A and B are shown apart, each in its own frame.
Chain A
Amino acid sequence: MLGETRVAAGGAVGERWARTDARAKVRGELLYAADQPLRPCLDVVVHRSTRPHALIGSVDTERAMAVDGVVAVVTGAQLYKLFGNALMTGPAFSDQPCLAVDRVRYIGEPVAAVLARGLAPARTAADEIEVDYTELEPVHDVDLAVAGGPYVHDVLRPSVVFGDLKHLRGKRDTNVNYEYTLRRGDVAEAAAAEGGRTVHEEFWCPPTHHVPIELPFTAAWRDGDRLEILSATQTPSYVRQSVADLLGIPLNAVRVRSAPLGGSFGAKMYDRLEPLAAVLAWTQRTAVRITASREEAFLLTTRHGAAVTGSMTADKDGRIVAATADVRYDTGAYADVGPRITAKSGMVATGPYRVENVDVRSRCVYTNKPSAGPFRGFGVPQVTWSHESLVDELARECGVDPAEFRRRNLLREGDVAPVGTPMHSADFAGCLDAVTEAVGWDTPLQREEGRLRRGRGVAVGVKAVLTPTIANAVLQLNQDASATLLISTVDMGQGSDTIMAQIAAEALCLGEGQVRVVAADTDVTPYDTITAGSRSTYHTGNAVRRAADAMRDKLLELAAERFGVAVTDVKLTGDGLVSAENQQKVSIPELLHGHFGARGTTLTTEANFTTSWVPYDHETGQSERVTEHWFAGAVAVQLTVDTATGRVHVEHLAVAGDVGRAINPKLVEQQLTGAAIMGVGHALFDQMVFDEGQIVNGTLLDYQLPSVLDVPDKITPIIVESPHRSGPYGAKGVGETTIIPLAPAIANAVRDAIGIRFPRLPLTPERILTALAEQEAGA
């Protein structure tokens, strides 16, 4: 691989550079998508279904059209006449229309769109639309949906956008749109062995919402035979393909620009507002913008609710010998990327342990709810909730300290994971050691203090990075030695613009502020699979590193020519290029000026980084190379439970992730910490509550996130570095690492404090108080 064996030139990787956008963000000067100046746009507001499952009869738009300022009202049926099945989009199945065509599948589904001059008339008119429904029986519960009808979709139609989802097949008469199985060894035999102990439990994680601060926004306008889109999206390359397919036009006729996102966590990916904005702008030959309200954002996508039936068996020596998981993901009315989540989580559903006998069944299930999609952790936190609760109970059954029990069973470098792929650069034990040491795991604990009970808990998490994927980078070195980097990675607060600048600067000996990253624009920046799943630092970072190394090689060649020496005699340093042979020196500006004979010129390189895999076997789920790399993390927590109020208070939260190599330790610590705080919410109160398909708490008055007062007394983020052999400077991503084992670590500490195992999230005071009362009654 180009340049990867060379020693780094210097000064950028491993430094705590300030975020490139920090100043603009703090001063309120950063322009998010909705802040950007645009041509005059019509505002779009949709009329939403009031039924969870119904056939659409007539849609009466007359009164809406009469509202002053309304330009057009468009229904799904009208769009279907124009686009046919191309109206149905989705990354896995082509199942979701931007406006319901003949049937609604969840309360809140868009049925008709109003285009108006101004948001207020658009809203008024949307309320005036009347829809005549014939109700169908809805299905709300994931297990009832698995068991049989009513069916949310009559026929399932796979889309063919992504390499890892090529194998999906069309089916009918089922709500299960995807099933992944993982089989290895003989679970029954292992579980029956003498002296063994088995624990099992039914777990549940409720649906949750991402709640990014910046609300979803998309604008689109038609420019002759081209369509331009400005959207708050993590996936500009996907959106371009999806919209080109939908409109039946070439990729170069669709331009998708993104902007810095004010948080996303998976909420702004794939097909959100873009298909609707695209078809309205295209068919009405106008410019439109859609601004989701906070309440509407709750309807756009959610984290999958998931039921897991799991078991784990240890032999008489305390070795984990068997594990099972039956996982049912509630994907709501549309599959979105649920099938990939189902597979990617299924393959790690037994945890980061050496287990020779595993049996996993992971299913993605339609119900009449808002569609669930990607969410930081990509379904893995839900299965981790199962395996990290089970392993904790199993340790207690075996009479072994839960941290020590895990330590004995964790996968080590070179071990083969249950899915069949060897481990590399995934130091679970190092993470576990770091967090337990940080919380003083082996020090005495004052267990009672008035009505408080104190406990400690630990959990470990594993996730496989999305594979195969594709990243590209174009690097332009300007004559003045500043650089412009063209990539389609979207900075959504994770700091990718800073990280990529550091990677590019390293090979070229550039300093802080010398590399500018261009915001994703499909007319300008090259294809990148997605900015998600913690993949950018490794994948796009590798493309950037290759482009930077190629640039350095070009500079060395130019300098060698100028000096009249061999390329191998030239070195690039912070002061420019130097010949080892004759001590000649030239700065980058002088070199490029001399080469091109003009100022302001640019030297360009480009690079691709594509990962490959061996598709998993569809019977056994096994693959010798299912993923490019692994994420490894651990969490230890000390907390108190108030036995009078049921309230949990986290005193110390230590979180660690093996990031291979920290390109920017400050940003890594912030990711470790941010994911941990989000996980505290999921552990204690974060949940979407539905009543017969209706969201009960779909506002920020009722949907609660951790406030600054919910942050643990102390958080210790710990960077573990076991370099990846092909990571850029050894690096891997980190955005999801600590959210994965967070909730079980807290539940395990609660178990330690009060002796009660909670299999359902979140651990609300009411659940805890009720369980304490039952415990007391039983005693």
Chain B
Amino acid sequence: MTAEMAAPLGAPTLHRPDTLDEVCALLGSLDQAMVYGGGTAVQILIKQGVLFASDLVDLSLVPDLDGIERTDTGLRVGAMVSLRRMETDPVVRRIVPLAAQVYGHVANPRVRNTASVGGNLAHGDYRLDPPTALMVLGARVELRSSAGVRHVPVRDFFVGFQETAVAPGELVTAVEIPAQTGSSSGFAKLSSQSVNDWPCASAAALVTSPVQGQRELRLGLGALAEVPKYVSVDVPSDAGVADAVRLGQEAAGPVIDPIPDIRGGADFKRRLGLVAVEDAIRAAWGSTGGTETGAAGRSTGKEGSDARRNSRRRWWRSR
């Protein structure tokens, strides 16, 4: 059944369905419905008076959207799993450590405790942290509507400025993340105002294990173009970290096209983007067992755990 709340004038109508079918039916029939997950973005839009939705469809009563399942290939994460759980869950930390690390960098613990994995992606902001990791991990988004289920790779999910592949009538129901086996990874997030502000450049790097003398270096870039960007490049497995950084920066450079704003001009962000790429690659390379490690790119392995401010500080000092 659907519980419909009386809304004050001008506010969207809140629906609280308790089955996924009802959710899909509502999304299919309502004119301008928006899915309400954790609400951390939607609430801000409402407060600022810039939410253009006639109806809000709250997922909190829908069962089975908040599970983390071990699959043959990796993990299937329900849309309503909190970011905080992605950061702290032992299974996530073991199977996809990069994802756990990066989810731990989103905003602050209050937001991470409330925001959902599905809502975070559907928000579609070009500065989001999780897509950088999900892209290099080769994750895909599960979308559902009354017409059925489809899957979209995270690399293809962000189609334009604040715009995603979610079609009218659809919602994000899960994210499938392949297990991170044999690869090493790193993440860097640089902000220009307070430490936990939106980044003005972020990068996730993943280095695969060697195949026929080559490693694949994958990069996910945040805040550096109007959508999260993905690039990859092959690196000889006997290359030093300096070569990996150079190849990575050469690959990333052409797709970096920053939006200037109060957090910095385009040139500044471009420069910072290349620093983030370097830091992420150094952190990743440092854990491949390779020989050279950059003095400035140490990964503490504890990043992202919430109020462990000392480790966070060490991390900042090492930037």
Q: Is A169 on the interface with B (CB-CB < 8 A)?
A: no
Q: Is A706 on the interface with B (CB-CB < 8 A)?
A: yes
B195 interface neighbour in A118, A124, A707, Cβ under 8 Å: A707
Q: Is B316 on the interface with A (CB-CB < 8 A)?
A: yes
Surface stretch bound by B, among A11-19, A341-349, A479-487, A697-705:
A697-705
Q: B9 near A69 (CB under 8 angstroms)?
A: yes
Q: Is A121 on the interface with B (CB-CB < 8 A)?
A: yes
Give the complex CA separation of A426 and B277 in angstroms. 51
User: Of residues A452, A640, A705, A765, which shows the largest number of chain B Cβ atoms within 10 Å of its Cβ?
Assistant: A765
Q: Which residue of B lies closest to A451 (CB)?
A: B296
Q: B193 near A704 (CB under 8 angstroms)?
A: yes
> What is the distance, in angstroms, from A631's C-beta to the closest C-beta of chain B?
28
Q: B296 near A123 (CB under 8 angstroms)?
A: no
Q: B268 near A769 (CB under 8 angstroms)?
A: yes
User: Of residues B190, B194, B316, B317, which shows the largest number of chain A Cβ atoms within 10 Å of its Cβ?
Assistant: B194
Given A647-B190, A696-B262: A707 and B196 within 8 A (CB)?
yes
Give the complex CA separation of A452 and B316 in angstroms. 11
Q: Is B302 on the interface with A (CB-CB < 8 A)?
A: no
> What is the distance, in angstroms, from A694's C-beta to the closest C-beta of chain B?
13
Given A293-B47, A644-B275, A770-B268: A705 and B194 within 8 A (CB)?
yes
Q: A709 near B309 (CB under 8 angstroms)?
A: yes
Q: A697 near B309 (CB under 8 angstroms)?
A: no
Q: Which B residues are CB-close (under 8 A) to A710? A: 194-195
Q: Is A642 on the interface with B (CB-CB < 8 A)?
A: yes
Q: Is A7 on the interface with B (CB-CB < 8 A)?
A: no
Q: Is A645 on the interface with B (CB-CB < 8 A)?
A: yes
Q: A765 near B192 (CB under 8 angstroms)?
A: yes
Residues of B168-219 whose CB lies within 8 A of A: 190, 192-198
Q: Which B residues are CB-close (under 8 A) to A705? A: 194
Give the complex CA separation of A237 and B198 in angstroms. 43
Residue interface bits B306-319, CB-to-A below 8 A is 1, else 0: 01010011001111
Q: Which B residues are CB-close (under 8 A) to A123? A: 10, 49
Residues of B248-285 whose CB lies within 8 A of A: 262, 264-265, 268, 271-272, 275, 278
Q: Which A residues are CB-close (under 8 A) to B318? A: 450
Q: B295 near A450 (CB under 8 angstroms)?
A: yes
> What is the distance, in angstroms, from A126's C-beta to the closest C-beta of chain B?
11
Q: Is A617 on the interface with B (CB-CB < 8 A)?
A: no
> What is the distance, in angstroms, from A10's C-beta to the closest C-beta of chain B?
41
Q: Which residue of A lies closest to B9 (CB)?
A: A120
Residue interface bits A742-767, CB-to-B below 8 A is 1, else 0: 00000000000000000000001110
Q: Which A residues are CB-close (under 8 A) to B196? A: 707, 709
Q: Is B247 on the interface with A (CB-CB < 8 A)?
A: no
Give the complex CA separation of A91 and B221 in angstroms. 52
Q: A450 near B9 (CB under 8 angstroms)?
A: no
Given A644-B296, A644-B319, A709-B312: A766 and B268 within 8 A (CB)?
yes
Q: A704 near B194 (CB under 8 angstroms)?
A: yes
Q: Which A residues are CB-close (under 8 A) to B262? A: 689, 696-697, 702
Q: Is B2 on the interface with A (CB-CB < 8 A)?
A: no
Q: A685 near B193 (CB under 8 angstroms)?
A: yes
Q: A120 near B48 (CB under 8 angstroms)?
A: no
Q: Which B residues are CB-close (under 8 A) to A647? A: 190, 192, 316, 319
Q: Is A713 on the interface with B (CB-CB < 8 A)?
A: yes
Q: Which B residues are CB-close (under 8 A) to A666? A: none
Residues of B122-171 whose CB lies within 8 A of A: none
Give the complex CA separation of A453 and B139 in angstroms. 39
Q: A120 near B195 (CB under 8 angstroms)?
A: no
Q: Is A295 on the interface with B (CB-CB < 8 A)?
A: yes
> What is the distance, in angstroms, from B263's C-beta to the closest C-beta of chain A?
8
Q: Which residue of A lies closest to B198 (CB)?
A: A701
Give the complex CA separation of A701 and B8 in angstroms. 25
Q: B264 near A120 (CB under 8 angstroms)?
A: no
Q: B108 near A707 (CB under 8 angstroms)?
A: yes
Give the complex CA separation of A770 and B275 in angstroms. 15
Give the complex CA separation of A150 and B195 in angstroms. 41
> What is the distance, in angstroms, from A117's C-beta to the closest C-beta of chain B?
11
Q: Which A residues are CB-close (under 8 A) to B264? A: 764-766
> What is the distance, in angstroms, from B42's C-beta to the closest C-beta of chain A?
14
Q: Is B61 on the interface with A (CB-CB < 8 A)?
A: no
Residue interface bits B282-305, CB-to-A below 8 A is 1, else 0: 000000000000011000000000
Give the complex CA separation of A681 and B262 in angstroms. 15
Interface size class on chain A is 35 or more
Give the complex CA separation of A180 and B108 in angstroms. 46
Give the interface SS of chain A, mostly helix, strand, loop or mixed.
loop
Give the complex CA separation of A124 and B316 in angstroms. 45
Q: A704 near B316 (CB under 8 angstroms)?
A: no
Q: Which residue of A lies closest to B264 (CB)?
A: A766
Give the complex CA separation of A35 and B48 in angstroms. 22
Q: Is A708 on the interface with B (CB-CB < 8 A)?
A: yes
Q: Is A68 on the interface with B (CB-CB < 8 A)?
A: yes
> What is the distance, in angstroms, from B146's C-beta to the closest C-beta of chain A?
33
Q: Is B51 on the interface with A (CB-CB < 8 A)?
A: no
Q: Is A649 on the interface with B (CB-CB < 8 A)?
A: yes
Q: Is B91 on the interface with A (CB-CB < 8 A)?
A: no
Give the complex CA separation of A707 and B193 in angstroms. 10
Q: Which A residues are CB-close (under 8 A) to B10? A: 120, 123-124
Q: Which B residues are CB-close (under 8 A) to A704? A: 193-194, 197
Q: Is B11 on the interface with A (CB-CB < 8 A)?
A: yes
Q: Which B residues are CB-close (under 8 A) to A649? A: 313, 316-317
Q: Which residue of A lies closest to B318 (CB)?
A: A450
Q: A645 near B312 (CB under 8 angstroms)?
A: no
> What is the distance, in angstroms, from A607's C-beta to the closest C-beta of chain B?
45
Q: Is B239 on the interface with A (CB-CB < 8 A)?
A: no
> What is the distance, in angstroms, from A586's C-beta to the closest C-beta of chain B?
55
Q: Which residue of A lies closest to B295 (CB)?
A: A450
Q: Which residue of A lies closest to B314 (CB)?
A: A713
Residue interface bits B6-28, CB-to-A below 8 A is 1, else 0: 00111100000000000000000
Q: A120 near B317 (CB under 8 angstroms)?
A: no
Q: Which residue of B lies closest to A764 (CB)?
A: B192
> What is the distance, in angstroms, from B214's C-beta to the closest C-beta of chain A?
29
Given A704-B194, A766-B192: A699 and B48 within 8 A (CB)?
yes
Given A120-B9, A124-B9, A451-B296: A706 and B48 within 8 A (CB)?
no
A706 interface neighbour in B192, B194, B271, B307, Cβ under 8 Å: B194
Q: Which A residues are CB-close (under 8 A) to B49? A: 123
Q: Which residue of B lies closest to A767 (CB)?
A: B268
Q: Which A residues are CB-close (under 8 A) to B316? A: 647, 649, 709
Q: A713 near B319 (CB under 8 angstroms)?
A: no
Give the complex CA separation of A702 and B194 in angstroms. 10
Q: Which residue of A lies closest to B279 (CB)?
A: A644
> What is the distance, in angstroms, from B194's C-beta to the closest C-beta of chain A?
5
> What is the distance, in angstroms, from A98's C-beta to the closest C-beta of chain B?
23
A685 interface neighbour in B44, B194, B275, B295, Cβ under 8 Å: B194
Q: A68 near B313 (CB under 8 angstroms)?
A: no
Give the complex CA separation of A707 and B108 in angstroms. 10
Q: Which A residues are CB-close (under 8 A) to B11? A: 120
Q: Which residue of A lies closest to B294 (CB)?
A: A450
Q: A68 near B190 (CB under 8 angstroms)?
A: no
> What is the distance, in angstroms, from B185's C-beta to the closest C-beta of chain A?
21
Given A69-B9, A120-B8, A769-B268: A701 and B44 within 8 A (CB)?
yes
> What is the distance, in angstroms, from B127's C-beta to the closest C-beta of chain A?
11
Residues of B231-254 whose CB lies within 8 A of A: none
Contact sample, A vs B, 25 pairs, CB 8 Å cutoff: A69-B9, A120-B10, A120-B11, A293-B47, A294-B47, A450-B295, A644-B296, A645-B190, A645-B272, A645-B319, A647-B316, A685-B194, A701-B44, A701-B198, A704-B193, A704-B197, A707-B108, A708-B307, A709-B313, A709-B316, A766-B192, A766-B265, A766-B268, A769-B268, A769-B271
Q: For the complex of A and B, list the 7 residue pairs with the smallest distance between their C-beta atoms, beginning with the closest.
A: A704-B193, A709-B195, A120-B8, A685-B193, A450-B296, A766-B268, A450-B295
A709-B309, A709-B313 are known contacts; what are 4 more A-B pairs with Cβ within 8 Å?
A699-B48, A707-B108, A764-B193, A769-B272
Q: What residues make up the interface of A, taking CB atoms closer than 8 Å to B?
A: 67-69, 118, 120-121, 123-124, 293-295, 450-452, 640, 642, 644-647, 649, 681, 685, 689, 696-697, 699, 701-702, 704-710, 713, 764-766, 769-770
